[in-house]
């Protein structure tokens, strides 16, 4: 199975709902059982052996498993656990460093004991820090002093003594209290909230099981080769397959963990919870029971992945949720019958807009297709199902509908598309070009294999705009690069796409080890085995696909691209393929459209606000410290909050995964105007 997608886990601070005093003891409920790692198992040894063997044989770079990989592995693992250097002491790091040149040999022997050594120390330090937090919450803090806290991860060193750690945590707690005060939570409520937050974090960490620890450690090891090679536990493989086929069995609710509580983030339209009608966003789920009479399990402080396991289940079965509805202090029990849920948020959707007028005076009809991923039901495809879920099939149907409705131009929105199936990327590109090469793929031995669209004609031959952002990655870049190389359409959006030019394959470790049907679930290795290149030979690796027309956007300036990750592979090139350009785009056309767009942007207030936000962000990005003086902190925070609502609206295009419809906003208005200008240039040229 070929996968060229990736997920983006940007930094997020969850909103805080309600107060923690709402929850009292619950009777008749089973307590969650902590699943602290027990120590390396024989199964883990086999998995580590398989991973190291596959890396040596199959990884694109053929990088030796050596001391360099070992040192990278240690660095990644420690950063994964303690990125702000708040928990470990320097003495802990010194003890771990004894293994820094040995991890390569250990993993090759199937020895993952280093992970348990580090994590055992980590849990001990967490418990110490929670006690420290309790003490610090019991003393008064002077918010009038002029002191600062470092926010530069690279400059921060590990604490050498308990006193140094305590001072660092004193500032951290002071910062947390100021944040809560800025959000109108102070006094005892703020103290209770922080106390519960750190207690909950400690409990969740102690619930880490062997599978999760192995996944963290082996992913640290595999990521030393490149950032997209990862070990996936059986649970992660299941979630990956759900994401690709856009279907699961459950109640249809997106959940998040906030200060120890499982909180409903979103109800999936058409799902079981939506049809039931009682469960709402911001409700807290405090217990889960199975069937009509099964014992309920207390899920307060339970890690989210375990709560999800309890709630998911076979279609037609019943799950009982004990819920504290938003705004209430009383709990209620909702029995919901699980159902099959289609994850429509991630499938292609479309809408037709009018923008500008054609030379004959009639309105320009622009069809917009929002495509969040290149999805494919891989299981259905393997079984030969005729109607398996497919990006290309869905988009083809949309294009047919556009033609029936006399749409003049198409905008394909890939701004939040992080990739997906290589097959779908090739087939979807083929809807917009005739026969010809779409992408070239090079393997570890240097062999270059071109992939062609073999279907004559186009599903859409009219004007095309591909809308991209820094979050458009991998499969999105294959399509955008091919469209640009063929001169088939315009690329509009951020300065460049993400810059991921590698192809991963998902290797089932159970199958690799046992070579039998129905092998035991042992997870999978998502491994970089190939690099892809545009038809004209350039890789998108690190560079991405440059926009023909760039629109102002904060995302252009975020450090979320391939080049910002640890150990990305380098850019390179292969020989160009022979292809016949369509000539629908030229430097002259681009320059004219860019000039017209610039004039509109200069007169659009919200784009000017974007530019102000960019300037403010770049200034903040340079800062290495933050003030812990209350007056200065709250003043600065108030200035930031004053712009937050506007900034949310302005940048929500890159956080729109919860949208079920395509909404017209200032940004899309400009894209539609560009599409109308482009259409008219094409119509005038055709008339000549």
Catalytic center residues: 474, 485, 500
Name residue, tokens 């759900």. 242
Q: What is the DSSP string of 1-30?
A: -EE--------------S-GGG----SSEE
CA dist., res. 671 & res. 677, Å (int): 10
In sequence order, the β-bridge partners of residue 335 are 320
> Of 481, 678, 669, whose CA–CA distance to 594 is shortest?
678
CA dist., res. 383 & res. 375, Å (int): 16
> Of 187, 256, 260, whose CA–CA distance to 20 is shortest?
260
**At how many degrees (to 10) do helices 113-137 and 162-182 cross?**
60
CA dist., res. 280 & res. 559, Å (int): 35
CA dist., res. 634 & res. 628, Å (int): 9
CA dist., res. 104 & res. 95, Å (int): 17
Strands annotated E in 251-331: 253-258, 261-267, 284-290, 296-298, 318-324
Q: Are 71 and 100 in contact (CB under 8 A)?
A: yes
The SS3 call for residue 301 is coil
Question: Structure tokens of 403?
Answer: 């033609």
DSSP 8-state symbol, 281: T
DSSP 8-state symbol, 496: B
Q: What is the DSSP string of 190-228?
A: HHHHHHHHHHHHHHHHHT--HHHHHHHHHHHHHTTT-TT
């Amino acid at each position: 199975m070929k996968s060229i997608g990736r997920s983006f886990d940007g930094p997020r601070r969850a909103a805080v709902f309600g107060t923690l005093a709402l929850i009292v003891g619950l009777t008749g409920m089973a307590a969650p059982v902590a699943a602290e790692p027990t120590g390396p198992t024989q199964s883990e040894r086999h998995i580590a052996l398989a991973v190291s063997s596959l890396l040596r044989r199959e990884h694109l770079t053929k990088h030796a498993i050596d001391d360099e990989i070992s040192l990278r592995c240690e660095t990644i693992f420690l950063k994964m656990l303690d990125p702000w250097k708040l928990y470990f002491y320097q003495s802990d790091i010194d003890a771990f460093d004894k293994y820094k040149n040995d991890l390569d040999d250990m993993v090759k022997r199937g020895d993952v004991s280093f992970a348990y050594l580090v994590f055992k120390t980590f849990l001990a330090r967490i418990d110490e820090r929670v006690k420290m937090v309790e003490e610090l919450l019991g003393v008064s803090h002077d918010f009038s002093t002029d002191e600062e806290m470092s926010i530069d991860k690279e400059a921060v060193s590990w604490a050498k003594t308990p006193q140094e750690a305590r001072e660092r945590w004193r500032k951290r707690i002071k910062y947390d209290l100021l944040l809560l005060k800025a959000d109108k939570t102070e006094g005892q409520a703020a103290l209770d909230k922080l106390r519960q937050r750190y207690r909950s974090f400690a409990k969740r960490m102690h619930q880490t099981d062997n599978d999760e620890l192995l996944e963290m450690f082996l992913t640290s090891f595999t990521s030393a080769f490149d950032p997209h090679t990862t070990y996936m536990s059986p649970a992660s493989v299941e979630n990956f397959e759900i994401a690709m086929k856009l279907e699961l069995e459950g109640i249809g609710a997106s959940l998040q963990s906030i200060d120890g509580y499982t909180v409903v983030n979103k109800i999936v339209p058409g799902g079981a919870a939506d049809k039931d009608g009682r469960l709402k966003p911001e409700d807290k789920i405090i217990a889960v029971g199975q069937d009509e009479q099964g014992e309920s399990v207390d899920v307060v402080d339970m890690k989210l992945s375990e709560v999800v396991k309890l709630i998911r289940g076979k279609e037609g079965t019943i799950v009982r949720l004990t819920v504290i509805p938003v705004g209430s202090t009383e709990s209620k029990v909702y029995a919901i019958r699980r159902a099959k849920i289609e994850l429509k948020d991630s499938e292609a959707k479309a809408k037709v807009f009018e923008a500008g007028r054609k030379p004959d005076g009639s309105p320009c009809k622009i069809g917009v297709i929002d495509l969040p991923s290149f999805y494919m039901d891989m299981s259905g495809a393997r079984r030969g199902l005729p109607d398996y879920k497919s990006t290309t099939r869905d988009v083809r149907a949309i294009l047919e509908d556009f033609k029936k409705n006399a749409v003049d131009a198409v905008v394909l929105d890939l701004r939040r598309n992080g990739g997906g199936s290589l097959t779908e990327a090739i087939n979807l590109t083929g809807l917009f070009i005739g026969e010809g090469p779409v992408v070239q793929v090079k393997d570890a031995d240097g062999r270059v294999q071109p992939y062609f669209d073999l279907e004559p004609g186009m599903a859409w031959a009219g004007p095309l705009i591909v809308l991209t952002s820094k979050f458009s990655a991998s499969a999105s870049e294959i399509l955008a690069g091919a469209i640009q190389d063929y001169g088939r359409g315009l690329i509009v959006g951020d300065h460049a796409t993400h810059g991921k030019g590698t192809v991963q394959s998902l290797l089932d470790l159970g199958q690799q080890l046992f070579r039998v049907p129905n092998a035991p679930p042992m997870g999978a290795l998502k491994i970089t085995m190939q690099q892809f290149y545009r038809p004209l030979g350039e890789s998108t690796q690190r560079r991405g696909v440059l926009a023909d027309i760039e629109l102002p956007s904060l995302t252009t300036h975020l450090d979320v691209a391939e080049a910002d990750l640890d150990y990305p592979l380098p850019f390179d090139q292969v020989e160009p393929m022979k292809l016949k350009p369509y000539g629908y785009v030229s430097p002259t056309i681009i320059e004219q459209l860019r000039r017209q767009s610039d004039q509109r942007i200069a007169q659009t207030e919200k784009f000017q606000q974007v530019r102000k936000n960019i300037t403010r962000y770049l200034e903040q990005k340079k800062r290495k410290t933050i003030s812990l003086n209350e007056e200065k902190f709250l003043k600065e925070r108030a200035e930031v909050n004053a712009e937050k609502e506007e900034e949310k609206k302005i940048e929500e295009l890159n956080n729109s995964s919860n949208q079920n419809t395509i909404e017209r906003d200032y940004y899309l208005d400009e894209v539609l105007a560009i599409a109308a200008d482009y259409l008219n240039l094409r119509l005038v040229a055709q008339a000549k």
